[in-house]
A and B are shown apart, each in its own frame.
Chain A
Amino acid sequence: MEPRSSTEAESPVKERRRGRYKIFLGMAAGVGKTYRMLQEGQAEAEAGRDVVIGYLEPHDRPETIAQAEGLEMIPRRRVRYRDAELEEMDLPAILRRAPELCLIDELAHTNAPGLEHPKRYEDIEDVLNAGIDVFSTVNVQHLESLNDQVAEVTGTRVRETVPDAVLGTADDVVLLDLTPESLIERLLAGKIYAQDRVQAALNNFFTIENLAALREVSLRQVAEEVEHKRVITGAAVGGREERLVETAAAQAIHDRLLALITPTPKSQRVVRRAWRSAQRLGGELDLLWVSNREPDEAEREQLEALRRLASVLGAHLLIEHGDDVAATAARVAEDRGTTYILMGRPKPRSAIRRLLQPALPFRLLSLLPGVDLRIVADRTRRAGGGGNGAATEAKEEP
């Protein structure tokens, strides 16, 4: 198979509008993403639109195969890879056929080497840029930022991941929601896998707890996506400008947090708040200790504990040498693209030091004008504080 540049194929339609993109998102295999995509495709065809199936993965499910009947299907192309012959979506054929709407299953798929793009979601970009509307499907565990979380919940790590931005570029995201009990019923009825695979699926992935957690993750993801689009586009009418604003805002919203710490147990409070904020903002977290000396034995012990904590949380522990904490932190923040700095309450300073140099927060604000700064309070000192912190914690985070 001769690799071919897709730009060659798309050049005649360069000036066309970009196609509309709808993604059917599911919490797991078998919720009915492909079926629903085909159902909507059939409805569009009924309404007189030119609809084709660019790629379909029916998994031998009779209901899905039946739903595809009557729709034109672009034949798959055969690709030789090592000793195997693989079947892949034929992107050039789709672009040549230029339908109004193309149905492309499983956007997280990794293509065989030598094709136009390594990933199918990149193929879809070409189709959209050619002015063709696209319906596609993906499961929530394929989203990059949720990969760790889903792996922890289910004990299974998915290798084929897609950037979260892919979901952000969709005009519509439709969540296929099903209760865990209903999904297990479908599995037991042989509607998802062949009967010989059902027991293994029940013992591994398809547990009530796994599915409930995945359902929660999916619902939350779509809610955040809807909120994100509502905030950015507001009541504005659709169009190129709107999309540009949306893309720029998505980049600006991608947060990276930097927590300034010292190797002492009290820094854990800052780490906790910083991690929670990072989780809510969907950002990466860096922990930074700026030191002008070698750590002593107690500090080494604390650093080791912080390193282990960072590893559990998926954060990065950085140790930088420097006499000036503000200047060093500012340099690290610039290098790592930090958008948010968190620090504990600074120690009270003497009058003379206050006269000689502004406090660390003020210095950071002046050195990093585009970065938010948050000083983490000690809630145990709050008037009337105490009690069950676990209950109050969640309410106060941004």
Chain B
Amino acid sequence: MTALLIVLVVLLAIAVVALGGTHLQYRRRRPKKLPTAAAGRILFPFMGGALSQRALDAALRLARAENATLVPVFLARVSMHLPIDTPLPRQSGVALSLQEAIEQRATAWGIPVDARIERGRTYRHALRQTFEHERYDRIVLAAAARGNYGFDADDVAWLLDNAAGEIVVLRPAADTTIGLPPPRPQRAPQPALERTGA
């Protein structure tokens, strides 16, 4: 009887040790969480096939300093001939590649990312839609420079009038872009006209 009890106790002890070991292993294996409940949100709107690395780094530095979530917003233009809710497979391909690049960089900095693609008839229209849908505390954006995508002086003036929160505008260096090369000049004048419309 005593021997049976001893065997039972030993078996129980082995089971407890085994379970404890497994639990420790499970806890050790569990990936460290990124800060997901960040308080602030920093909008980082961009367009076209490339984005300014300098502006992105500035947005990431701000997000880290403020424990904020970075919200990269790809602004997609929908031609006047199409319904505004039309799917945009070509621009989505570009947007998702750039968002992937942003997310990889942000993760290296330990910053949570919550990316968006926003449609509009013009970039400003897409921005206006963004302001309607999104919570944010700051906006970081890249100013247009020669041969780069970005926001020009009129856009920035428009943003100051229409956006809540702080706006940080950064002038990008020409050689620090992520993504595809800037667009080739077009034969038709339409895009330039659309660009200025609100």
Contact = CB atoms under 8 A, between A and B. Distances in A.
Given A148-B89, A207-B187, A279-B93, A265 B104 contact: no
B157 interface: no
A301 B136 CA distance: 13
A309 B117 contact: yes
A221 to B, nearest CB: 14
Contacts of A393: 97, 100
Interface string A133-154: 0000000000000001101110
A312 B76 contact: yes
Contacts of B117: 308-309, 312
A385 interface: yes
Contacts of A308: 116-118, 133
B149 to A, nearest CB: 14
Contact of B116 (A157, A209, A305, A379): A305
B187 A208 contact: yes
Interface stretch (B2-10, B80-88, B140-148, B167-175): B80-88
Contacts of B180: 390
Given A314-B89, A380-B104, A207 B186 contact: yes
Contact of B100 (A208, A312, A350, A390): A390
B81 A156 contact: yes
Contact of B91 (A152, A202, A348, A350): A152
Interface in A341-398: 348-351, 379-381, 385-390, 393-394
A208 B186 contact: yes
Nearest to B108: A386
B100, B107, B133: residue with the most chain A Cβ atoms closer than 10 Å: B100
A179 B6 CA distance: 88
Interface in A312-339: 312-314
A142 B44 CA distance: 37
Interface residues of B, number: 54
B114 to A, nearest CB: 4
Contact of B85 (A264, A311, A394): A311
B108 A157 contact: no
A379 B105 CA distance: 11
Interface stretch (A22-30, A238-246, A269-277): A269-277
B116 A390 contact: no
A304 interface: yes
A149 B104 contact: no
Interface string A294-310: 00000001001100110
If over half of B's interface residues share one DSSP class (helix, strand or loop), that class is named, otherwise mixed; here it is mixed
Contact of B22 (A184, A351, A390): A351
A351 B97 contact: no
Contacts, number: 131
Given A312-B119, A381-B31, A389 B103 contact: yes
Interface in A188-214: 202-204, 207-209, 213
If over half of A's interface residues share one DSSP class (helix, strand or loop), that class is named, otherwise mixed; here it is helix
Contacts of A350: 23, 26
A179 B72 CA distance: 37
A152 B96 CA distance: 16
Contacts of B36: 264-265
B142 to A, nearest CB: 16
Given A272-B100, A304-B133, A385-B104, A157 B81 contact: yes
B87 A311 contact: yes
A6 interface: no
A114 interface: no
Given A350-B23, A386-B105, A272 B96 contact: yes
A281 to B, nearest CB: 13
Interface in B96-141: 96-101, 103-105, 107-108, 112-119, 133, 135
B93, B112, B184: residue with the most chain A Cβ atoms closer than 10 Å: B93
B196 interface: no
A75 interface: no
Interface of B: 19, 22-23, 26, 29-31, 36, 69, 76, 79-82, 85-93, 96-101, 103-105, 107-108, 112-119, 133, 135, 178-180, 183-184, 186-190
12 contacts: A148-B87, A151-B82, A152-B91, A203-B189, A269-B100, A275-B92, A305-B114, A308-B116, A348-B29, A390-B97, A390-B179, A394-B97
